[in-house]
Amino acid sequence: MNSDAGSRPEDAPGARSASTSRAERKVATRGRVLEAAAETFAERDYSAVTVSEIARRAGVAHGLVFHHFGSKQGLYRAVLDRFVENMDSAFAAGAHTDPADAIRAGLRAHLCYVADHPELAQRLIAGGRSPDADVLEASQAGRARALEMLAELVGVDADDATVQFVGRTIIAAADEASLNWVRTGCRLPVDDLVEWLVEVGSAAIRGAAVLDPDLDVDTALAVVHTGRRPGA
């Protein structure tokens, strides 16, 4: 009996190898474009950057950029996503163990990325004040994502109006502190800045009770400082 009966051509070892190679090349190409975009956006404002320039820098055809990212805005959002990815990963890693440690790890990862990529970080953070609609939309999406992660860690509803207001204020303060820190040569120790940001955020959470007396700020503060809910 032929053991190959009924097998498909794509199941053959050679076909699988070719498919894997194509997938690897696709990932490598996407990474090369993303790296070229990050370098270019670090040098100039969004409006001054062209997709053609990024394609030339990455050594790929112009159409491949659109194939992978859809548009210049999509490419910018991918760069922004990578910017917050380290913080995302740090938050996620500690979310099921100790939320207090996860918050600090996320802030530390964010600051370390800012220190390692100062030009890009300054432009991406400042994008939240950009008059360019594409940049502003991407920046707001990144901040919304950060707010959702923080709200989940401290156990509050990210859709609550007061949580939205206070959370966005905390994120704006962290962004401004990051900008000031990198512009002054990152002289303050990272861990000291992390703890300062935690205290600033805690003060904002405490003050949220003024805006909404029904908001359980004590539980949120306990999570931030101890990683546990009262009575847990």
| pLDDT tens for each residue of 58-99 | 999 988 889 889 888 888 888 888 777 766 676 666 556 688
> What token pair was written down for 8?
């498909």
Assess whether pLDDT exceeds 90 at residue 135: no
CA–CA separation, 125 vs 175, rounded Å? Answer: 6
pLDDT band at 19 (very low <50, low <70, confident <90, very high): low
Name the CATH topology of 8-70.
Arc Repressor Mutant, subunit A (1.10.10)
- Domain spans of the chain, in order of start: 8-70, 76-226
Give yes or no for residue 22 having a pLDDT over 80: no
- The CATH code belonging to domain 76-226 is 1.10.357
Tens digit of each residue's pLDDT (9 = 90 or more) over 183-225: 999 999 999 999 999 999 999 999 999 999 999 999 999 999 9
How many C-beta atoms surround the C-beta of residue 14 within 10 A?
9
Q: Report the chain's mean pLDDT, rounded to a whole number.
A: 83
Q: Which residue has the higher pLDDT, 86 or 148?
A: 148
What percent of the chain has pLDDT above 90?
34
At residue 162 the predicted structure's pLDDT band, cuts being 50, 70 and 90, is very high
Assigned token pair, 107:
């802030």
> Which amino acid makes up residue 115?
A
CA angle 12, 13, 18 (to 5 degrees): 100
